[in-house]
Chains A and B, each alone.
Chain A
């Protein structure tokens, strides 16, 4: 089929007349942002109108909280020791019936031995990972503005804190799709609801603006994530999509799954991600030894973990990702002393054309909760 150069288009074009200038690129961007904001507001307004009488189910007035986690992680990477103390306080301030302000910061250091000096040396890195205001518009939708963790895949948003993750090392593909500093600056709508008697649906759609502020940088992109959760099978599967709105304007996509067989104390998690900077996957299984018939007091606190992951280099290089194709196998043991206090020991073997290496990790992590007000328990 022949296509004529001046084929009529159905797209709306800016009128171009003699003496009339095209709107600048920045004006177009603002108009585009306005359109998106209007669409978000309209969707929110529609949902609020349809379910105007619905109230969040807080029968108890929530108290502000300072929670988060702290950990001390020791790594031997290729024989080189690293000491990695980390603290991630999370401030939660519920406001009224529908609002929450939440912010998480990270204080961490990578202490290494310097030739010619005794001891370990390093600097403390400080970063506000996110600071977001959430408005629970109705049971189906929450609107978030500010700086938020990019909802691409599951690890960045839900499994990142050291007290949650089963293995202390990040998956190789973690940097894919989450932007610089793991966060976005902009707006997001998200929620979860029961769409069918047998499954729930959860979703997130977001827009992030470009920010070059030190420690608060973000890229300009838009995307979404959706998942289906089947409570009876304890299975969640979902996918993520992201479209870059700067530079190469490339796309990224991924899939994730979480399965906890109801009959076993077993967690199986997996993620796949692909973008212009690379692609890869990880599969992790964690088995709690609570069904072993002997030494029950100790073994029910013990968890055996294994993870396999593979990364393939993409067209564009990224400093946050390996420079060559890499495979990594990891095995770990977690011991839960009490709620929130965990000791971990992991071993990993990395295979790549840059050289194979062993990675040993030992860690102790703690999750703390400090109410900033009356707790209602007295």
Chain B
């Protein structure tokens, strides 16, 4: 065996590993979901038909294949409930991401301009909430926002309101929860791009006649766009499929697609419709996911 082969064999294995991972933990489960989405609900175990049974021979499998249909997808398109859920998910994600950008950008900008030794401290402060379970932090917000919660107590004590305000189970509470939870995902990529920006570029801009405001819009902001895109996609994609925060903090009059999916699956026991909803959600998110992937690739190439 030549020396070259000794090194290439593990290298090839390493290259296959991520594909294997994707196949086992993404593609195969997705195949199951896709198959269930093409099935019909049934009172049985599992609660749908047809079921592939390879022991029954090729004819049975062929019959099962013939029984698959797109009925569930037709239902998703025709029923307002699902269309509205998808729309609400997209709107909530878009609004939340905008708020996150408006808050996150100034914070990241401020962090990047701190003296070097304080930047580490600021970074810790952004990350520290992760040390507490996400669910516990959302429950803490319920405590703060509820009828006799901390927020109402403070408002009453300051005589800003005369009676307790309803915070919980409103869209405001949901947006608060989402923005609170996702803020680090917006700040960190923005901070990363802003911190590595050469200060001499701003000096050059000012030397060439730009006021500080012009220098920001002509140099800092355009150069931070990769960070903006990364932050926006990193927040937008998971918020679209968000379930826990709207379920705990928002009212029940309009649902995000994650909640609808949960209802179909657990309450209605309609696995096929829930699966179809999941497949459509995935297709919706493929566009921003591809965008994100491209962006990361381009940054990697630039870094080379």
- Whether chain B is bound by chain A comes out as no
